[in-house]
Structure 1
Amino acid sequence: MKTTEIFKYKQVFSYEVFPPKKSSNVSTIYKTIEELKKLAPDSISVTYGALGAKNNEETFKIASAIKSYGIESITHLPCIGLTKEDVLEKLEELKKLRIENILALRGDLPEGDYKKGDFTYASDLIRFIKENGNFNIIAACYPEGHIDCKNIVEDVKNLKIKVDAGASQLMTQLFLDNNVFYNFKEKCELADINVPIEAGIMPVVNKKQIEKMTSLCGVKLPKKFIKIMERYEHNPVAMRDAGIAYAIDQIVDLIAQGVDGIHLYTMNNSYIARKVHEAVANLLLEKKAS
């Protein structure tokens, strides 16, 4: 099933997982998925590292396993370093696995020299997938602007190119201030971007985690969140619970404001996902089919 269809009937709630870096730990991801299955997610996405990361070969296997559990799966596909022949091979494999949903990305640019491949931007990959298969194509978006883009206006223009190229659904990078998301939504509407947008939420459970995310993605920290970190950073359990509570507050507000969906970055932690689900499951709205 193409996940974009689900938005017609309800506010969507989905999760993201990633293949463990060590092959010896692969079994742990299946235990996580079994726990997530109990939460009845609308879909689960599986990340895929750029430029031949060692755990990439597990991405499609995990996505296929998710399908076997009766859950719609989304596989990430970054284009940096890939040729058109590479992508065609991957599309053929996904067809055989009956995986219909692809999150098409550029991928993080590595330092130094690297194989360029045939695709410069995510929009190039989206257009190529659209021309070579009947997939539901999802694109990433950045409420605070992509770190490589000079401003949010330019970034929204680039997002419009992705949608026009064939993206029928969007997922945001994590953000910690809902007003940033609402302002971004307004800019999307002005740019005539009219596809469902899932808000990406990551419960931040330790200081190191958010410091890494801010350096990689440029996510801004609200004063309220900084105070939480300062108060609880030396108490791991309290920081975990405070991070979950902060994410729940974000999600409750987003649901009340009619967000299309929530995409929870689980960091492969089913405990966090379960706590969030317990708090918000009854708030998600069913929509009447027209």
Structure 2
Amino acid sequence: MSQLPTETWTEDTESRLRVSFEFFPPKTEAMERRLWSSILALAPLNPRFVSVTYGAGGSTRERTHATVRRVLDDTDLTPAAHLTCVDASRAQVDAVAQDYWDSGVRHLVALRGDPPSAESGFRAHPDGYANAAELVAGLKKIGDFDISVAGYPEVHPEARSPQADIDYLKRKVDAGANRIITQYFFDSDTFLRWRDRVRAAGIDVPLVPGILPVSNFATVARFSEACGAHVPRWLHRLFDGLDDDPDTRQLVAATVASEQCLDLQAEGVEEFHFYTLNRAQLTKAICRMLGICPGRGAPAADSARDVTTEVHP
């Protein structure tokens, strides 16, 4: 078990720890209100950036663009827009990236992307980028973006082998990626062993653990089976019987994720990326356990200028 956070809080530790938050674009007015309420709640924690996911469908892409633009226009936060290779030509992707650059967006998350749910596997657009490494190289030709890419401590489900997965990760970094954000995981040793292999391969960009606070265990278990993330038995036991007890479930979730972050911090990790699912409470609680809160390692003033939780016209 990790030490209590009060024993690890020092001004030096707080000055080094950084966080970033991931959101997804809203589909309805109610979801938009929840999204912006969450952004407002987390903004005072001074994240390095906030990323906005990007789906395969045209309407999803438009919602991503609208959300990124609002973060840029209405807050002091740094938006990081997701871009993928799915169902788009190089010219289309390049046009989106150029528009972001012209708008002042300098951070991107470059991903191959998952196919639409009706398809069984990824198929590159005939005139598109074939993979994330090509996408990173293409984006760097448009502008000197700060580019994050994905890493898989438990190996990408489509990789031929763990070494092939790391070799491909190096291709993305060699193409110009500035940092690697991992798929979520629940076993800290899995990340640490992967970190050793990544460094041994000569990859020296920052490795940022992706942290998923478990707000709904059944949903996380189903998604993890699809994406190849291992859910350990001890986690099943912790959440067993809590389906109809949301208050206890939230407390357990906050404790589990906080312990994970504190364990990783003790191993030298200084940055975390939180998959918020557009909900602020759990992420905010975990950050406080790490000593990241307004007035301690982050500015006391709200980072939002004049954002309200009303739907943006």
Normalised to the residue count of structure 2, the TM-score between the two structures is 0.82
Native 8 Å contact 2:212 2:257 kept in 1: yes
List gaps (5 residues or longer) in structure 1: 1-8
In the alignment, what sits opposite 1:178?
188
- Say which SS state the counterpart of residue 157 (structure 2) adopts: coil
Deviations 1:20-46 (A, max 9, x none): 233563233222211111222221111
1:274 is displaced (CA, Å) by 1.6
Cα deviation, 1:230-255, whole Å, max 9, x if unaligned, reads: 24344222122211110010011111
Q: Distance in 2 between matches of 1:59 and 1:16?
A: 12
Report what 1:60 is aligned to.
65
Distance 2:108 2:270 in 1: 19
Task: Decide whether the 8 Å contact of 1:78 with 1:105 is kept in 2.
Answer: yes
Q: 3-state DSSP class of the match of 2:291?
A: helix
Match among 29, 33, 38 for residue 32 of structure 1 = 38
Q: Is 1:189 the equivalent of 2:199?
A: yes
**Structure-1 residue corresponding to 2:152:** 142
Task: Give the distance between the partners of 2:155 and 2:52, measured in 1 at CA.
Answer: 23
Matches for 1:56-205 after TM superposition, within 5 Å = 56-67=61-72, 68-110=74-116, 111-112=118-119, 116=125, 117-205=127-215
State the Cα distance separating 1:285 from its structure 2 match.
8.6
- Note the alpha carbon deviations across 1:63-107, whole angstroms, 9 max, x for none: 233234211111111111111110121112101221101100011
Equivalenced residue count is: 277
**2:224 counterpart residue number:** 214
**Residue 272 of structure 1 pairs with residue 277 of structure 2:** no
> Partner of 2:307 in structure 1?
none
CA RMSD of aligned residues (A): 2.2
Moved over 4 A (4+): 282-286
**Higher RCO, Cα 8 Å, sep 6+:** 2
Larger-Rg structure: 2
Offset of residue 282 of structure 1: 5.0
Change (3 A) 1:23 1:148: farther
Mapped contact 1:205–1:241 kept (Cα < 8 A): no
Q: Given residue 70 of structure 1, which amino acid in structure 2 is its aligned partner?
A: D
CA 1:58 to 1:39, structure 2 compared with 1: closer, same or farther past 3 Å? same
Amino acid at match of 2:142: N
Matched, 1:242 2:252: yes
Identical residues among aligned pairs (%): 28
SS at match of 1:232: coil
Instruction: Name the amino acid aligned to 1:107.
Output: G
Report which stretch shifted further, 194-203 or 253-262.
Answer: 253-262
Q: Which residue number corresponds to residue 11 of structure 1?
A: 17
- Classify 1:115/1:222 alpha carbon distance in 2 versus 1 (closer, same or farther; 3 Å): closer
Comparing 251-260 with 177-186, which one deviates more in the overlay? 251-260
Gap change, CA 1:131 and 1:220, over 3 Å in 2: same
Q: Answer yes or no: is the 8 Å Cα contact 1:196–1:260 preserved in 2.
A: no
Q: How big is the shift at 1:224?
A: 1.9
Bigger Cα displacement from structure 2, 104-113 vs 127-136: 104-113
Cα-to-partner distance string for 1:93-126 (whole Å, 9 max, x where unaligned): 1012211011000111234497724112111101
User: TM-score, normalized by length of structure 1?
Assistant: 0.88
Which stretch shows the higher mean deviation, 167-176 or 17-26?
17-26
Are the equivalent residues in 2 in contact too, given 1:197–1:260 (CA < 8 A)?
no
Q: SS in structure 2 opposite 1:281?
A: coil
1:171 is paired with a residue whose SS is strand
**Local SS of the residue matching 1:103:** strand
* Distance in 2, Cα, partners of 1:258 & 1:285: 17
SS in 2 for 1:38: helix
Match of 2:55 among 49, 56, 64: 49
Mapped partners of 1:132, 1:30: distance in 2: 30
Provide closer, same or farther for how the CA distance between residues 153 and 115 of structure 1 changes in structure 2, counting only shifts above 3 A.
closer
